[in-house]
Chain A
Amino acid sequence: MQTHFKRGDAVIIALVLCVALLLLLLPLARSTDGSAVLVISLSDGSETTYALSEDRALTLTGNSHTLTVVIEDGAARVVKSTCPDGVCRMGAISKHGEMLVCAPAGVALTVRSQGGDVDAILG
C-alpha cells in the first residue's frame, strides 16, 4: 500500500460519495398518498399506529428513556429524547419505509403508506 495520496484514493472517495448521493435520491422515487401512517414499535413488542395527516404530539417511553414525537405537516420527528445518543433526533420521516430509531429506548418509528406496495414507479 502506498504512503502518499494517489489517484485511486480520489476514486474511492468519489465512489463513496456517489453511493451516498444515490441513497439520498432513492426515496424521491417513492410515492406518498394521504393515507400514510406512522407505526410506533416499542421494545415490549407493542405497535401503535397514527395517521400522519393529523398533527399531534406523543410521549413514548422505553427502557427508562422518554421520547417526544411530533407529527406535523405530514411528517414525524423526535423533538426531545432523554437518550444519550440523539440519533433518533436526526431528521423527519414522511415517506413509506422511512424510519427513525432510538436504540437505547428500543423504539422504532416507521412510515407506512396504504398504497405503498411499490417502492418506485418508473415511466
Chain B
Amino acid sequence: MPSSVKSYPVRRLTTDALLLCVALMLSYLEALLPIVPLPGVRLGLAQSVVTVAYFRLGRTDAAVISAARVALMALLFGSVTSLYFSACGALLSYLGLYLGDRLLRKRCSYIGLGVLCAALHNVGQCVAAATLFGGGLLLTYLPALLVVACAMGALGGVIVCALIGRIPAPKGGTV
C-alpha cells in the first residue's frame, strides 16, 4: 500500500474495503474451522488485518475496518447478542492497539501487541457477558480465555511481523 493512499480518497476507500473483505473472510473461515475443541475460542485472524491497517494506513482506517467487520459479521451470521459481544471485544482490542502504539513501540513487538489485544478482546467479551448475566461470569471463564489469548494473540502477532515488513510505511514514519 503506497504512502500516497491518504491523498486519494477513492484509493483509500477501495484499500480499506479490500482489507475489510479480507478481515471478513478470515472471520468467517476461522469460525468454520474447529481449531481448538474449546467453545468460543477463535484464531483472531481479523485482528492481524486491523493491526496492519492501524500501523500502515492509519488509526481511522483501522477503526472503520474493525467496526464494519463487526457489523457485517453480525448482520450476515450473527444476532443482536453476538453483535454486542463482538463490539465490546473489538472496542477493547482497538484500545489495545492504541495503548501499544503510544506506550510500547520500543519495548514490544507485534507479538506482544497481539497478546495484549487478544487478552483485552476477551476481557471485553466477559464484561459484556457480565452486564447481561451478572458478575460471576468473569471469574469462571476469563482465566481460561486469557491463557488462550496468549497463544492466539502471539500467533496473530507473528503473522503481522511476517507480513508488515513487506508493506511500506507511510511517509513520515508509522502512523
| Cβ 8 A contact of A87, one of B40, B100, B147 | B40
Closest to B81 in A: A103
Q: Check A26 for interface membership: any CB of B closer than 8 A.
A: yes
Q: Check B76 for interface membership: any CB of A closer than 8 A.
A: no
Q: Check B87 for interface membership: any CB of A closer than 8 A.
A: no
Residues of B within 8 A of A79 (CB): none
- For chain A, residues 3 to 41, give those with C-beta under 8 angstroms from any C-beta of chain B: 3-13, 16-17, 19-21, 23-24, 26-27
Interface centre among A3, A12, A21, A86 (most CB of B within 10 A): A12
Closest to A97 in B: B136
Q: Check A52 for interface membership: any CB of B closer than 8 A.
A: no
Q: Check B170 for interface membership: any CB of A closer than 8 A.
A: no
Q: Nearest Cβ distance between residue B39 and chain A, in whole angstroms?
A: 4
Interface string of A73-102 (1 = CB under 8 A from B): 000000000000111011101000111110
- For chain A, residues 35 to 70, give those with C-beta under 8 angstroms from any C-beta of chain B: none
Number of A-B contacts (CB under 8 A): 113
Contact indicator A1/B136 (Cβ below 8 Å): no
- For chain B, residues 120 to 140, give those with C-beta under 8 angstroms from any C-beta of chain A: 129, 133-140
Would you call the interface of chain B mostly helix, strand, loop, or mixed? helix
Contact indicator A6/B112 (Cβ below 8 Å): yes
Contact indicator B149/A16 (Cβ below 8 Å): yes
Contact indicator B135/A97 (Cβ below 8 Å): yes
A interface, how many residues as a size bin?
35 or more
Residues of A within 8 A of B141 (CB): 87, 90
Contact indicator A5/B39 (Cβ below 8 Å): no
| Cβ 8 A contact of A99, one of B38, B40, B133 | B133
Spell out B's residues near A (CB within 8 Å).
Answer: 38-40, 55, 81, 100-101, 104-113, 115-116, 119, 129, 133-144, 146-147, 149-150, 154, 157, 161, 164-165, 174
Spell out A's residues near B (CB within 8 Å).
Answer: 1-13, 16-17, 19-21, 23-24, 26-27, 85-87, 89-91, 93, 97-101, 103, 108, 110-111
Question: 13 A-B contacts, Cβ less than 8 Å apart?
Answer: A1-B105, A3-B165, A8-B108, A8-B112, A13-B115, A16-B116, A17-B146, A23-B139, A85-B39, A87-B141, A97-B139, A98-B139, A110-B136
